[in-house]
Amino acid sequence: MDKLKRKTINFDHADTALVGPFLDEDSAEHAALERLVGERLASDSAELRALVMLGVSRVRETLLEDAYNQAVDSGDFDDTSDWVEQTTRARRRRRTPA
């Protein structure tokens, strides 16, 4: 897929209740979302895009964790303290807004 174009998302009542607070500029959820993405979000589109991108990031982290766990379980490498420290530092860098 070269370029993602406009897509329609159908939210049911439960989804609306879950997502709605992120679209309210006066909510704690909206403020937290802006802090996470490091920019002001001034439209529903920008807020929903930010939520999707954070979801993408979380899914990728899960895939990496799964791959790591499979490698450890299969004996491909040991879980050394050096590796744990490097991984922890890398995660902290990724979570720190630029």
DSSP string, 12-65: -HHHHHHHHHHH-TTSHHHHHHHHHHTS---SHHHHHHHHHHHHHHHHHHHHHH
pLDDT in tens, 46-88: 999 999 999 999 999 888 888 877 877 776 666 677 777 777 7
Q: What is the residue extent of each domain of the chain?
A: 14-95
pLDDT in tens, 15-53: 999 999 999 999 999 999 999 999 999 999 999 999 999
- In contact, 91 and 31? CB cutoff 8 Å: no
- pTM over the 0.75 mark: no
How much is the pLDDT for 37? 94
- Residue 1: alpha-carbon gap to chain centroid: 21
